[in-house]
Amino acid sequence: MLRSILLGVAAIWQRDFVAHGDWMLRGYAIGMGAGTQVLTLMAGEMIAGPPSELRRAILMGAAWVISLAVAEWIIGRRPTG
Does the pLDDT of residue 75 top 90, yes or no? Answer: yes
Q: Measured between alpha carbons, how far is 17 from 65 in angstroms, rounded to an integer?
A: 25
| CB atoms inside a 10 Å sphere around CB 53 | 7
pLDDT at 51: 86
pLDDT computed for residue 59 by the predictor: 94
pLDDT for res 81 = 58
pLDDT tens sequence across 24-72: 999 999 999 989 999 999 999 999 889 899 999 999 999 999 999 999 9
Smallest CA-to-CA distance from 63 within 41, 47, 46, 78 is with 41
Tell me, what amino acid is at 13?
Answer: W
